[in-house]
Amino acid sequence: MPRSDPESTPSDAARRAWQLERPALGLALGGVQGVAGHRERLAWAHRAEALGLHSVWLPEMHFAPGVCPAPLVELASLAGATTELRLGTTSLLLPLHPPERIAAEITALDRLAGGRLLIGLGRGFQRRMLEAFGVDPAEKRDRFDEALERIFSAWAAADARGRRPGPSARPHPPLAVAAFGPKGLAQAARHGLPYLASPVETTSQIEQNQRLHRAALAPDSAPPLSLVMRTVFVGSDPDVLARARAALEAETDGRRAALPTAVERALARPLDERAILGPPDFVREALLALRARLGIDLLIVRPQIAGLETADQMRSLECLAREIWPEVVSRDPTRPA
């Protein structure tokens, strides 16, 4: 059947669904503990909306202090506190949950948020976590496929009865898949979904993964969206930058045991291959270079770094959103300044 708009393409439709008229900036936040932590997260969301950011994102994580064990529930609190900001999960772990219940919860949250929901899906890679949920790690990909098909079926049945998943979501909210290795990338491509690159992966790994993902897509598929997560910190104080770098280096200490090969390989690389830290001019040029290599329709920045003052982190985000990102978007990343 021909499209009603002859100028429209599948890529255009995907960008409209994600509300990406031009390269956009999103915000990735971590888990919180207690009422004070929740209030701080709300402050980040309010600041992101005031700065005109595209979206705020939460991961699903378990069995560690300050994680997000129920990101859909936690995003519901942000839905009621914002009006324009889109709300996303970076890795809703499908193998851990009953598919029909997840379909219903996504539907409910999308309605509550007025159609602002974005869903990044994942499988999970920590053996201890998977086994705690009764999931054989060897079966996680099969369970992901089965869960996604059952979710699609639930939404299709609701749509057939005139009960759309959300006010502006047809047949469902925009979806993406967080993937590290070839099997996960092929799985995302098989479902025709974008690949969401994590802040752990190096730029070279993301380039390679984008190629693998594109190669695995159906031959007539439109070019996929480039969705990239990155740790970014902007600051001119050498002492603050040194503390930020030391904190990020310390994050990987003791984390490499029993990790997937792709994750372990990324964490073993120098920090500068997976994070951008420096004064405004340095960050601007680094982001232009990143755009030139990866395309980038949506850059989801991780601004929170342990041990830094919240005021320094907020100033970093404000400088990025107000001064750096508009120039990055307006300039041709393939041409020198």
Q: Which CATH number do you get for residue 122? A: 3.20.20.30
CB burial of 123-145 (b: ≥16 within 10 Å; e: otherwise) equals bbbbeebbeeeebebeebeebbb
Cis upstream peptide for 194 (omega within 30°): no
Task: Judge residue 291's burial from the number of C-beta atoms within 10 Å of its C-beta, 0-12 exposed, 13-18 middle, 19 or more buried.
Answer: buried
The answer to whether residues 116 and 241 belong to one domain is no
Q: Are residues 289 and 321 in the same domain?
A: yes
Based on the domain organization, do 11 and 142 belong to the same domain? Answer: no
Residues 116 and 7 in one domain: no
Does 241 lie in the same domain as 282?
Answer: yes
The pTM of the full predicted model, rounded to 2 decimals, is 0.92
Residues 53 and 160 in one domain: yes
**Mean pLDDT, 10 residues at a time, the chain of 337 residues:** 40 84 94 85 96 96 79 94 96 94 93 94 84 85 94 86 61 90 91 94 95 94 93 97 94 63 82 96 97 96 93 97 97 63
Range of the domain at 294: 1-20+223-329
Q: How many domains does the chain have?
A: 2
Q: Is residue 229 part of a domain?
A: yes
Domain boundary among 178, 211, 245: 178
Q: Is residue 212 part of a domain?
A: no
Together in a domain, 35 and 154: yes
Decide if 206 is inside a domain. Answer: no
Q: Are residues 7 and 61 in the same domain?
A: no
On whether residue 205 sits in a domain, the answer given is no
Per-residue pLDDT, 319:
98
Map tokens 């190096």 to a residue: 202
Looking at the fold, whether 9 and 72 belong to one and the same domain comes out as no
Q: Indicate whether 15 belongs to any domain.
A: yes
